[in-house]
Structures are given as structure tokens and as C-alpha cells.
Amino acid sequence: HREALEVLRQPLEDGMIFISRAALSLTYPSRFMLVGAMNPCLCGFYRDPVQPCSCTPAQIKRYTSRISGPLLDRIDFTVDVPRLKYEEMAGVG
């Protein structure tokens, strides 16, 4: 999946997609809003208040480094979303 993410770098920066084939070059507009989600670590429980994380610091670093620096530079903001209890989501209580 890393390759698919890396392909998004140029359209995110330029707002254009360039396609070149043997005898043809095309340019298409490509202004879009990228929305993505990922777990904070391999087990998914890093910083979870209920379930302890089973990952080592090295595993967490390796997991988060799957997103390259150049791609992260093109992401304007990130939001950490903590786990919600069922009662909070269901409006009970």
C-alpha cells in the first residue's frame, strides 16, 4: 500500500495528474481532499486508556514510519481520536 500512497504525493502538491505513454502525454486536473486513517501502532492500543499497548518503542517507530516524510509534509493536519465507550457512542447514560 505504500506505493499507492507515494503516488499521491505529486497530485497533492501540483493539483494535476500527468500521464505519459509511448506517443501521448495527458494532463488532468486533480484537486482533491485526502482523508485517511490509521492505527497509532501495530496492535492499535498505543495511548489507549483501557487496553495496554503490546508494541515495543521500536515497533511503534517502524509502524509509523510507513508513511514517508515527504507525504506527511503534504498533510495539513492530523487528529488523534481516542477510543469512545459504547455508552458515549450510543448516547446512553
Domain assignment present for 83 = no
Domain that holds residue 25: 2-77
Distance CA 18, CA 11 (A): 9
To the question of pTM greater than 0.75 for the whole model, the response is no
**Are residues 51 and 45 in contact, defined by beta-carbon separation less than 8 angstroms?**
yes
Give tens-digit pLDDT for 12-54: 999 999 999 989 999 999 999 989 899 999 999 999 988 999 9
Residue 93: inside a domain, yes or no? Answer: no
Work out how many domains the chain is built from and give that number. Answer: 1
Q: Is residue 30 part of a domain?
A: yes
Residue at 92 is within a domain: no
Q: Residue with C-alpha cell 521500536? A: 58
- Would residue 91 count as lying in a domain? no
Whether 88 maps to a domain, the answer reads: no
Does residue 61 fall inside a structural domain?
A: yes
Grid cell, residue 44, equals 492499535
- Could you tell me which residues come within 8 angstroms of residue 36 by beta carbon, excluding any fewer than 6 positions away? 75
